[in-house]
Structure 1
Amino acid sequence: MKYLLYCLLPFLFGPQEKIHIYLVGDSTMSIKSTKAVPEMGWGVPFATFFDSTAVVENHAQNGRSTRSFMQEKRWEPIVNKLKKGDFVLIQFGHNDEIPTKKSATTPDEFRKNLEKYVNDTREKNAFPVLITAVARRSFSPEGKLTDTHREYSDITRSVAKQLNVPLVDLDEKSRALLQQMGPESSKLLYLHLKPGEHPNYPDGKTDDTHFNELGARLMAQLVLKELRSLKIPVTDHVVNNGKK
């Protein structure tokens, strides 16, 4: 009888509308091309955490900042299809903070852009979540991890507090993880390849910004853990809702 009622629900009330989770950010979050493998953004494993009641759309793009993402008309289409109850996870900073990049933004511009992402999302009755830039693997000779995002992460924290937006401090959490692992073991999370180890990088690769699959998964787990601790309802749609 219960099974029959369950089967009839879509006919009685219509199909349940799925929520959408939009990921907006840079290369540390994005989906990669086949020629970049084994590089992986944390948004890729993050999408696998959710059940069939949610759709994760990863719109993050390599090299984008808060400004260039909007200038290239990547943000407007997302806003146009946002609906009540959707979630937007916003993570920028890597490309905003480097003055030599075309995508760079001043601290004031970065703040105003973050405010726009938040306000645009809220105008559609959707839920914004701000995320600080994930750590770079940058150790001092003494083995202490350098805080390479301090100014722009502080701005993200400030905007979150000012606008009362949930904040996932991925900068802080990822730095803690890397410091715990140390200079050598932390290489296992990033794109460190020896010559001949992978056909996409015949000369090898040393990249302390972008993750391999293990690093991407651990960062995604940090994000999910923080979302749960903040009691963000997006976690209601996690596979089995965290139950074994």
Structure 2
Amino acid sequence: MKSMLIKALFLPLLFISGVSVAKEHAELKPATIFIAGDSTAASYSNADHQGWGEPFKAYFDSKTVTVDNRARGGRSTRTFMAEGLWQALIDDVRAGDVVIIQFGHNDGSPVNDNRRARGTLPGIGDDFVDIVNQLTGKQERVFSFGHYIRQMVAEVQAKQAIPVLASLTVRNLWQGHRIERGSGQYGYWTYQLAWELGTPFIDLTNAAADELELLGKTAAAALYPKDHTHYHNEGADLHARLVVAALKGMRPTLADDLYSDKGKAVTAYDWTFVRLPVVPDARRRSVFMVGDSTVRNGWGDGRDGQWGWGDFVADWLGHPPVNFVNRAVGGLSSRTFITQGHWQRALNMMNPGDIVLIQFGHNDAGALNDDSRARGTIKGIGHEQQTIDNMLTGQRETVYSYGAYLRKMVGEARARGVIPVICSPVPRKVWLDDSKRIARAENSYPQWAAQVARQSQTPFIDLHALVAARYDELGPEAVDEMFGDARTHTSKAGAIDTAGIVARQLAPMLGLDVVEAVSVEAK
């Protein structure tokens, strides 16, 4: 009976989000893909300068879709609209078209001068300033970056077309072996706007930075012969390819017959639709979270009433000047989080002194090899390994133990000066026969996580025990309200409660005090 109970506690999670199958497999077939942006996207004939919008055209079949690049050098969101460039674009948009919008490089310029007068107010608020424009001599009300993006998105949607927001291209500015990941906070503001407005978000900044860091400082510099912002054809094509890869990961996605042979050959980044968070402010220390759907559920928007605890930790700490970046992905194990590239992408965003909370286990109990998920890990923390021909990917793969994957993440985090913290997996809502105590797993993932933490001298948060004790205290009736499904995924109330437990353990590491979280109703 006990072995059956332990198995039930860690049955694999069977979904990533509440998105319907019909919606997930729907296809977009625009007649035109428009691009609105600045010089980093604009088309040029200069040998030392090309925007990504020009090589982007080659990834599509001109017989099935038109790529219309309206990006113009030197423009911000404000001047792109003030000069009529946006109006000319929107006049040509038809229902079903796609409009990719990317600005930010020039929005940080002065709001008023006699040279460009193109800057916007920082952020995405409703603030504005009235000026007499030194360049035009006219009165003008200048709004925030977010205001202009909202107007663009609203006008695209009014045409029953699809807006897509993209973060900045990467500038060739390095600190040691790390390249700058965005100018200012424009990438984060674009991410926030994508969530607010319900649009797809392409994280071009981090995707391009990842590739450029692999090339290295010298090879990357060769792509930027003019200055640190503008690249030539090869650098433009690198960014264009990454935009295509991200478009393939939207839900719904572009129809396959829109792509040329070159476009069809691009490996899709299948996770665009999840809209994973980016670092809000590079000047601040960050706390990253990696894990499964109990940390960040589905699309991270509470679908079907289900939330992960990682979305609410900051609430318990009074939203201090620390970034909280929840990069957990539902449906993944410690193994597939690594093999599908999520760990490396998160790691590349981290800086020395950052903290990463690591919580896996629920999905590690899945099959080592099947044609559905192929995400299981070898039980325990040993050095066993098994080579398989992965039925899902078609590739040969060596599978390791649960502990081995945790050790890999811990070691690679430390190698970058990042502080890893191992968390045991949260318990499921499975009550013992007397209905007064939540069942605890034995000789399973919580204990294995603890063993890896002890052996590697890594900070450990025993969420399995702490959350189970909390549920014992509350009792079955109250705990029922903390779940969005039968026994695995918490509701908003449950996620907030678990986040409070995490915050109490995390606060001393950050030198912070725990405050009372905002109410469920206020969130």
Please report the TM-score for the alignment, with normalisation by the length of structure 1: 0.81
Aligned partner of residue 211 in structure 1, secondary structure: coil
**Aligned with 1:216 (options 236, 243, 251):** 236
Aligned to 1:65: 76
CA contact (8 A) 1:91 1:133 kept: yes
- Amino acid in structure 2 at the alignment position of 1:239: S
Moved more, 227-236 or 160-169: 227-236
Within-5 A mapping of 1:35-46: 36-46=46-56
Per the TM alignment, residue 174 of structure 1 is displaced from its structure 2 partner at its CA by 1.1
Per the TM alignment, residue 160 of structure 1 is displaced from its structure 2 partner at its CA by 0.2
Instruction: Specify the structure having the higher radius of gyration (Cα).
Output: 2
Distance 1:85 1:148, change over 3 A: closer
CA contact (8 A) 2:182 2:205 kept: no
Within-5 A mapping of 1:165-204: 165-190=199-224, 192=225
> Are 2:197 and 1:163 aligned?
yes
Q: What is the distance in 1 between the residues matched to 2:151 and 2:106?
A: 18
Q: What is the distance in 1 between the residues matched to 2:107 and 2:101?
A: 13
Aligned to 1:49: 59
Q: What is the distance in 2 between the residues matched to 1:165 and 1:79?
A: 17
CA contact (8 A) 1:188 1:214 kept: no
Consecutive unaligned residues of structure 2, counting only runs of 5 or more, are: 1-28, 125-143, 267-523
Which protein is richer in helix relative to its size?
1
Q: What is the distance in 1 between the residues matched to 2:252 and 2:60?
A: 14
Q: What is the distance in 2 between the residues matched to 1:121 and 1:149?
A: 26
Per the TM alignment, residue 104 of structure 1 is displaced from its structure 2 partner at its CA by 1.2
Per the TM alignment, residue 37 of structure 1 is displaced from its structure 2 partner at its CA by 2.4
Aligned to 1:228: 248
Distance 1:156 1:136, change over 3 A: same
Higher relative contact order structure (alpha carbons within 8 Å, sequence separation ≥ 6): 1
Aligned partner of residue 128 in structure 1, secondary structure: strand
Per the TM alignment, residue 44 of structure 1 is displaced from its structure 2 partner at its CA by 0.4
Consecutive unaligned residues of structure 1, counting only runs of 5 or more, are: 1-16, 193-205
Q: What is the distance in 2 between the residues matched to 1:211 and 1:235?
A: 30
Q: Name segments (4+ residues, structure 1) moved above 4 Å.
A: none
**Aligned with 2:121 (options 106, 121, 126):** 106
Q: What is the distance in 2 between the residues matched to 1:153 and 1:37?
A: 28
Distance 1:25 1:50, change over 3 A: same
CA contact (8 A) 1:25 1:64 kept: yes
Aligned partner of residue 228 in structure 2, secondary structure: strand
Aligned to 1:137: 172
- Amino acid in structure 1 at the alignment position of 2:109: I
**Aligned with 1:80 (options 75, 86, 91):** 91
Per the TM alignment, residue 73 of structure 1 is displaced from its structure 2 partner at its CA by 0.3
Per the TM alignment, residue 232 of structure 1 is displaced from its structure 2 partner at its CA by 4.8
Aligned to 1:20: 32
Per the TM alignment, residue 169 of structure 1 is displaced from its structure 2 partner at its CA by 0.7
Please report the TM-score for the alignment, with normalisation by the length of structure 2: 0.39
CA contact (8 A) 1:168 1:226 kept: yes
> Are 2:260 and 1:239 aligned?
yes
Aligned CA RMSD, in angstroms, stands at 2.0
